[in-house]
Amino acid sequence: MEYMAKDTLTVRVPSETREALDALAAVLDRDRSYVINEALNAYIDVHRWQVAHIRQGKREADAGEFVSKRDMDSLLKRLRRR
């Protein structure tokens, strides 16, 4: 496993958040930093995915690549039946 340099980051959180974080860390038998890093990585992954899809949609819209009215009406009709 490669060693990765780490930086210190200080944040302020409500007491309840710290307590919940510490409780979760204890249940997982991990330290607080591990749990915070996992949470940050998950947050970053979700938002990177979301931004990438928004950008892709914008590129498609800028290129005039839209779903046809007929296809959209058909989709909405199917969804309303559910």
Q: Is the pTM of this model over 0.75?
A: no
Q: How many whole angstroms separate alpha carbon 13 and alpha carbon 75?
A: 44
pLDDT value of position 43? 98
Q: 36-80, pLDDT tens digit by residue?
A: 999 999 999 999 999 999 999 999 999 998 888 999 999 999 999
Q: How many whole angstroms separate alpha carbon 35 and alpha carbon 48?
A: 20
pLDDT value of position 67? 87
Q: How many whole angstroms separate alpha carbon 76 and alpha carbon 73?
A: 5
pLDDT value of position 66? 86
- Each domain of the chain, given as residue ranges in start order, spans 15-81
Q: 5-44, pLDDT tens digit by residue?
A: 989 999 999 999 999 999 999 999 999 999 999 999 999 9
* Cα separation of the two ends of the chain: 50
Contact 47, 55 (CB under 8 A): no
Q: How many whole angstroms separate alpha carbon 30 and alpha carbon 48?
A: 26
